[in-house]
Amino acid sequence: MNADVVFRSLGELELCVEFGDRIDLALNFQVLALDRALKESKVAGIRETVPTHRSLGVVYDPALIRRRDLERLIVELVDELDELSEFPSRLVTIPIWYDDPWSQECARAHGVDNNIDFLAGANGIGRDEVISRHAGVLHWVSAVGFQPSTYQAVPLGEMRLTGPKYERPRKWTDPGIVCLAGTITSYYPVRSPGGYQLLGRTPIDLFDPAQRNAAFADGPVLPRVGDRHRYVPIDGEEYEAIRAEVVGGDYEYRIEDGVHRLERADA
Amino acid sequence: MRDRNVFEVVDPGLQTTVQDLGRPGYLADGIPPSGAFDAAALKLANLLVGNEVGEHVLVGTDPGAAGLEMLLVGPALRVVSHTVIAVTGADLEPMVNGEPIPMWTAVPVRTADEITFGSARSGARAYLAVAGGLAVPPMLGSRSTNVRAGIGGLGGRALRARDVLAVQPPEHRAEKLAWRRIRPELIPAHPSPARLRVVLGPQDHLFTPESVATFLDTDWRLSPTSDRMGCRFIGPALKFLPRPEHLVAQAGSDPSNIVDDSICIGSIQVPSGLEPIAMGVDGPSLGGYAKIATVISPDLSVLAQLKPHEVTRFQAVDPEEAEEIHLAARRIGEPDFLE
């Protein structure tokens, strides 16, 4: 593969392997390819990896592998990486009550009348168009982290919707709220400060530490880098019905296995 | 043998949580390791009372036995069955029935004894280990409490009055453990002003060279708005080099914004160039602010023991030197640390 990587230090237990400094699906594919190659190499001392939009964090045990040897290994792996043009990708359906009362209340509490109205004005479109543009494309999860199940997803194809971050971050945001900054969609799993524009609230849990629902059989956090999200607008009645099923433990998550092909328009 | 109740919480103190050495393996899910902020102190407390000391944070897989982490103002605990305890880390004036007890020492306690603490004389976080280790259900491989995510420990929260803590069956008889001590020369010293060794990067190249020098030349003061997620430092503003246009569009308008990437515990973010934040053991795994340096993991113990307004300096070491310091620190808690 024709990729240049830069090694950046994260102390003595983690190494950042940087493919670039920008959001670009092609970079994320390189990150995922290296992640896979490192895991398949089964080299002793590599403890965990943290894929992001543009870099791979590699946690390593210096008692088992020194940084200079780890760098040498990664350079070799990167040289041998196949140019990835497709990647296994789950399609996860996430219902959203756009412009829900919690988001409205949270915006008002922080001096903004309504975030959907704000986005409509900022993009020169009607408020319904904000929702249809956001829900009208699939979104690619290219980083997971910050808090349990917080993710960042970039639109696949042209969304024609952007939102600035709040200039003064909010003091709190309700859990379950889906939000937008630039073209990145993210999510607040727990009540937390934040600066993204509020889009709506999902009734489904993306973090289940007790792993009760079958969707969490492999781990406590649903979003994974390389997932595609489909956001489906729902109303208040549907929200309550789905929420009751989630709380009862019998909600059936809609997750389909698939493959995503890298296309020029995504980059 | 079954778990046995040992303590009833009379007063929880400022923030007392159940911690072992943490929950490795979930960074890519956004779940931080948590665990004792001063891991060396918890290891030595566990060693004294004959518990598993566990391995190193992040890179180990065995989190060892769980004890209590106590911040600045310790709890009051009523002993409900006799056992052996050890208190290490910050000197919060530990007492049994109002009489001072020695730190870094295995101390037998009997039913109806009351364990209390006075004021914080040095350091910020003390650790209490009890023979057998605290019995709470492990969550994702660890008993550590992460208050923000609401997982681990006792119901995912700090202790409250009237909580009852149980221990697992101890491996050793109390008489055998009583009055064991850590070799005095091996008790961690925390000189003042403190020194935190860092490896520069991953984004030191985004700061002006003058600001990198300022970072290493300043006596920083710990802000009172510091916790297990992050420790803020008060000092001069740091400046950034001009940025390419695409970063303004993609990462945000503030000069400290980067496209989110991985953060390690100890990494020092500098949002807007103001108040560098060294990430603690409950810190985020991903973030969108430039990180000037990362505190090396053995010095997380020093970071954990800084009190509000205490002064510290950051000292740069190169990555290979950091690995050597790390390997030496891995020995803390081995049996020869006992007198």
Return the closest-CA partner of residue A28 out of A162, A151, A181, A141: A141
Q: Is B264's CB within 8 Å of A150's CB?
A: no
- Radius of gyration of the CA atoms of chain B, in A: 20
Name the residue facing B59 among A59, A146, A147 (closest C-beta): A59
3-state helix, strand, coil split of chain B in percent (to 5) is: 20, 35, 50
Interface probe with B: pick from A8, A12, A184, A222, most Cβ of B within 10 Å: A12
pLDDT at A191: 85
| pLDDT tens-digit series, residues A229-248 | 999 999 999 999 999 999 99
Q: Which CATH class is domain A6-84?
A: alpha beta
**Half-sphere exposure (CA, 13 Å, Cβ side) for A203?**
23
Please check the confidence at residue A265 and state whether its pLDDT lies above 60.
no
A267 pLDDT band, cuts 50/70/90, is very low
| pLDDT tens-digit series, residues B278-311 | 999 999 999 999 999 999 999 999 999 999 999 9
Residue type, B96: V
For residues B94 and B92, give the distance between their C-alpha atoms in angstroms, rounded to a whole number: 6
Write out residues 81-100 of A within 8 Å (CB-CB) of B: none
For residues B278 and B265, give the distance between their C-alpha atoms in angstroms, rounded to a whole number: 8
Helix (H, G, I), strand (E, B) or coil at A230: strand
For residue A70, report the phi and psi dihedrals to the nearest 5 degrees: -65, -40
Tell me what percent of the residues of chain A surpass a pLDDT of 70: 98
For residue B16, report the phi and psi dihedrals to the nearest 5 degrees: -115, 125
Please check the confidence at residue A85 and state whether its pLDDT lies above 90.
no
- Interface contact B325, partner A, CB < 8 A: yes
Chain B residue nearest residue A191, CA to CA: B148
Q: Is A55's CB within 8 Å of B261's CB?
A: yes
Q: Is B294's CB within 8 Å of A66's CB?
A: no
pLDDT at B308: 96
Out of A79-93, A178-192, B100-114, give the one with best mean pLDDT: B100-114
Token pair, residue B319, equals 């990555």
For residues B54 and B144, give the distance between their C-alpha atoms in angstroms, rounded to a whole number: 13
A6-84 shares its CATH topology with A91-266: no
Strand A228-233 relative to strand A91-98, pairing: parallel
Contact B280, B37 (CB under 8 A): yes
Contact B2, B20 (CB under 8 A): no
Give the torsion sign (CA, A210, A216, A219, A222).
negative
pLDDT at B338: 97
pLDDT at B254: 86
Name the residue facing B250 among A13, A52, A182 (closest C-beta): A182
List beta partners, residue A6.
A18
Return the closest-CA partner of residue B248 out of A266, A22, A166, A56: A22
Per-residue buried b or exposed e for A207-240, using 16+ beta carbons within 10 Å of the residue's own CB:
bbbeeebebbeeebbbbbbbbbbebebbeeeebe
CB atoms within 10 A of CB B195: 13
Measure the CA angle with vertex A29, ends A23 and A30; round to 5°.
95
Contact B20, B188 (CB under 8 A): no
A2 pLDDT band, cuts 50/70/90, is low
Contacting residues for A203 by C-beta, under 8 A, at least 6 apart? A95, A97, A176, A234, A239, A240, A242, A243, A246
- Interface contact B300, partner A, CB < 8 A: no
Contacting residues for A75 by C-beta, under 8 A, at least 6 apart? A5
For B68, the enclosing helix (H) or strand (E) is: strand B67-71
pLDDT at B231: 97
| pLDDT tens-digit series, residues A5-15 | 999 999 999 99
| pLDDT tens-digit series, residues A35-47 | 999 999 999 999 9
List beta partners, residue B273.
none
For residues B30 and B34, give the distance between their C-alpha atoms in angstroms, rounded to a whole number: 12
The pLDDT tens digits along chain B (339 residues) read: 689 999 999 999 999 999 999 999 999 999 999 999 999 999 999 999 999 999 988 998 899 999 999 999 999 999 999 999 999 999 999 999 999 999 999 999 999 999 999 999 999 999 999 999 999 999 999 999 999 889 999 999 999 999 999 999 998 888 899 999 999 999 998 888 999 999 999 999 999 999 999 999 999 999 999 999 999 999 999 999 998 888 888 888 889 999 999 999 999 999 999 999 999 999 999 999 999 999 999 999 999 999 999 999 999 999 999 999 999 999 999 999 999
CATH numbers and ranges of domains, chain B: 4-182 (no CATH), 194-329 (2.40.100.10)
User: If you average pLDDT over every residue of chain B, what do you get?
Assistant: 95
| pLDDT tens-digit series, residues A149-160 | 999 999 999 999
List beta partners, residue B127.
B69, B88
Contact A203, A97 (CB under 8 A): yes
C-alpha distances in angstroms, B59 versus A220, B24, B65, B223? Answer: 20, 7, 17, 29
For residues B278 and B306, give the distance between their C-alpha atoms in angstroms, rounded to a whole number: 12
B260 neighbourhood in chain A, CB within 8 Å: 52-53, 143, 145-146, 152
List beta partners, residue A94.
A231
For residues B129 and B66, give the distance between their C-alpha atoms in angstroms, rounded to a whole number: 7
Assigned superfamily of A91-266: Cyclophilin-like (2.40.100.10)
pTM of structure: 0.94
- Indicate the domain borders of chain A: 6-84, 91-266
Contact B199, B318 (CB under 8 A): yes
Chain B residue nearest residue A35, CA to CA: B28
Higher-pLDDT residue of A145, A228: A228
Residue with tokens 């992640």: A35
A264 pLDDT band, cuts 50/70/90, is low
What is the rounded average pLDDT of the residues A181-199?
90
Write out residues 31-90 of B within 8 Å (CB-CB) of A: 31, 56, 58-59
Among A102-111, A119-128, A160-169, the least confident range? A160-169
A1 pLDDT band, cuts 50/70/90, is low
Residue type, A264: R
Name the residue facing B259 among A54, A62, A165 (closest C-beta): A54
Q: Is A10's CB within 8 Å of B286's CB?
A: no
Chain A residue nearest residue B25, CA to CA: A48
Return the closest-CA partner of residue B324 out of A8, A49, A67, A43: A67
